[in-house]
Amino acid sequence: MYKYFLVFFYIFFLLSKSSAEIVNNIKISGNERISSETIKIYGDLKLNKDYSETEINKILKSLYETEFFEDVKVDIKNNTLNVVLKEYPFINQLIIVGEKSTNYKDQIKKIINLKEKKSFIKSYVLSDLEKIKSLYSSAGYNSANVEIKTNKITASSFDVLIEIDRGEKTKIRKINFIGNQSISDRKLRDVVASEEHKFWKILSRNTNFNKSLLDLDTRLLSNFYKSSGFYDVKINSKFAQVDNIEGANLTYSIEEGKRYTISKIATNVDSVFDKKLFFPLNDIYKKYIGEYYSPLR
In whole angstroms, give the CA distance from residue 197 to residue 144.
20
Return per-residue pLDDT of the chain as tens, 297 residues: 444 444 444 444 444 444 567 889 999 999 999 999 999 999 999 999 888 899 999 999 999 999 999 999 999 999 999 999 999 999 999 999 999 999 999 999 999 999 999 999 999 999 999 999 999 988 888 889 999 999 999 989 999 999 999 988 888 889 999 999 999 999 999 999 988 876 555 546 678 888 888 889 999 999 999 999 999 999 987 777 776 666 888 999 999 999 988 777 667 766 666 666 666 666 666 666 767 767 666
In whole angstroms, give the CA distance from residue 189 to residue 217.
10
The strand pair at 69-77 and 20-23 is best described as: unpaired
Residue 281, number of CB atoms within 10 A of its CB:
13
Tell me, what DSSP letter sits at residue 125?
A: H
Which amino acid, 205? R
Domain ranges of the chain: 19-87, 90-165, 172-255, 262-297
Burial degree of 170 (CB within 10 A; 0-12, 13-18, 19+):
buried
Tell me, what DSSP letter sits at residue 170?
A: P
Helix (H) or strand (E) holding 163: strand 157-165
What percent of the chain has pLDDT above 90? 58
Contact 158, 150 (CB under 8 A): yes
Q: What CATH homologous superfamily does 19-87 map to?
A: membrane protein fhac (3.10.20.310)
> DSSP letter string over 85-109?
EEEPPEEEEEEEES---HHHHHHHH
In whole angstroms, give the CA distance from residue 85 to residue 38.
13
Which one is the CATH code of 90-165: 3.40.50.150, 3.40.50.920, 3.40.228.10, 3.10.20.310?
3.10.20.310
- Alpha-carbon Rg for the chain, nearest whole angstrom, is 33
Tell if the pTM clears 0.85, that is, is over it: no
- Cα 40 from chain centroid? 34
Q: How long is the chain? A: 297
In whole angstroms, give the CA distance from residue 263 to residue 191.
27
In whole angstroms, give the CA distance from residue 227 to residue 229.
6
| pLDDT score, position 273 | 67
| pLDDT score, position 211 | 82
- Does 90-165 match 172-255 in CATH topology? yes
Backbone angles phi, psi at 159, to 5 degrees: -100, 135
- pLDDT digit string (tens) for 216-273? 999 999 999 999 999 999 998 777 777 666 688 899 999 999 998 877 766 776 666 6
- pLDDT digit string (tens) for 130-157? 999 999 988 888 889 999 999 999 989 9
Which one is the CATH code of 172-255: 3.40.50.2300, 3.40.640.10, 3.10.20.310, 2.30.30.100?
3.10.20.310
Residue 71 DSSP SS3: strand
Tell me, what DSSP letter sits at residue 261?
A: B
Residue 74, number of CB atoms within 10 A of its CB:
19
In whole angstroms, give the CA distance from residue 88 to residue 119.
6
